[in-house]
Structure 1
Amino acid sequence: MSTERDIRFTAADFRRLRQMLYQRVGISLNDSKSHMAYSRLAKRVRQLGMRQFADYLDLLEKADDEAEWQHFVNALTTNLTAFFREPHHFDLLRLHAMERVTQERHYRVWSAAVSTGEEAYSIAMTLLSLPQLNRQRLELVASDIDTRVLSQAADGVYDAERAKMLDSSLLKRFFLRGVGHNAGKVRIRREVRDQLSFYQFNLVAAEWPDMGRFDVIFCRNVLIYFDKPTQAAILQRLAASLQPDGLLFLGHSENIQHLSDAFQSCGRTAYRLVNHNVRR
């Protein structure tokens, strides 16, 4: 490890950290993430007056402090997102919704790793732009394991720079511009924020709450953090959470070939549920 680091962080510490993260939330850090782990946790270790990572890891294991564990998990999860990232997914979502909204039931979508909220609000803007979709029959659920980003998502406040590439009609309809000390910020309108329900959710939890079945699930850039057996288990549960012929959207680098026979490709990193008999 680098001698320039002011906090002792050994190869053994990193192996231990990886094992603790895996046991806690199922995330598997690869060997290249040592520097990332140090940079994200070092500030917290300093705040606690410690000079070596081993002491911090001891604290986590011995104190069993839920708040400290949450800080640990929050620091080591990645939250890269943007409005309408992977735009082809939203084109498919629009078409799928237009096929389904003629039915007399709710249209339900789950953003399973919502991060700071841009994905969930992109889903909401796409669906609320459909004239044939009654707002009262739309249910949007957003979840993440990271409590810090969930709070940001629920607030719906962003630097205006993050929304500058959006169509002007979307900005006018769905956003408020900040004034005074909020200049340079935008906020999602309340009627859009109220359309969403936000929950903390761990995809590798022993038990999933009964949320019913969804028409569409977005679970993008999440599976890459798990090993193959965990990926397969999550996919089985996602399949069991979808309506017949429901859609699953994954990240651009995620490939579920050989991991599940419940889905059939229907576009770039887009899959349709074809095995309707999957059980959790």
Structure 2
Amino acid sequence: MATVAKVAKVAKVALVTGGSRGIGAATAKQLAAAGYAVCINYLHNHAAAQQVVQDILAQGGQAIAIQADVAIESEVQRLFIELDQQLGRLDALVNNAGILLPQSRLEDLTAERINRLFNTNVCSYFLCCREAVLRMSTRHGGQGGAIVNVSSAASRLGSPNEYIDYAATKGAIDTLSKGLSLEVAEEGIRVNCVRPGFIDTDMHTDGGEPDRLQRVKANIPLKRGGEASEVAAAISFLLSDAASYITGSFLDVAGGR
């Protein structure tokens, strides 16, 4: 079921997956302020997604919210069809949806947990990229566009003793970003990747340690956790015309780690 706010025709349209909270919500708001009509994808929290829509509308922006589980192929297809119908041509995709499970060493991981993480954190990115490319690529009659995949500094650091499986999913996103950037460079699509570090969001609660930033901040060169708005600024830049000659690149937003 889609939550719809009346949207007029605009120059650019952006989709943000996992847009109801944290980095996704901050990105949706910044893109709306930059003039995009924004589709906020969410999984469960309708109220949170609708609040992001209302915040954007209150600032004079344009937004809708569409529920879909982006780990399921048919749901991704429905999401993009509804987006086509409600906003028109897609110009920008932010792949941000993902999950973090409680901290664990590798020796305690199960196949069920590993598969769940890879299905949500990796398969969803592939599926959304596919649908975006089918709409954006000049090879398919599109007018080009830009994709930003949200990875993590964990892809470089490995997250030993805590989130080695999550880190591995983000390593896959790094590879996807580089490969896809080369695949579609001549088709008018730029693909880049943002790798956040320790960011102050409720994802740490999902991992079982709400106060994790307080524990680790002494090891961060800037001596603090990052804000969702700081990651959103990096994403917004990479989608913008100011980054028109940037593709296949990785921007770490990790306080120096």
The structure carrying a bigger helix percent of its residues is 2
TM-score normalised by the chain length of structure 2? 0.39
Highest RCO, 1 vs 2 (Cα 8 Å, sep ≥ 6): 2
Larger radius of gyration: 1
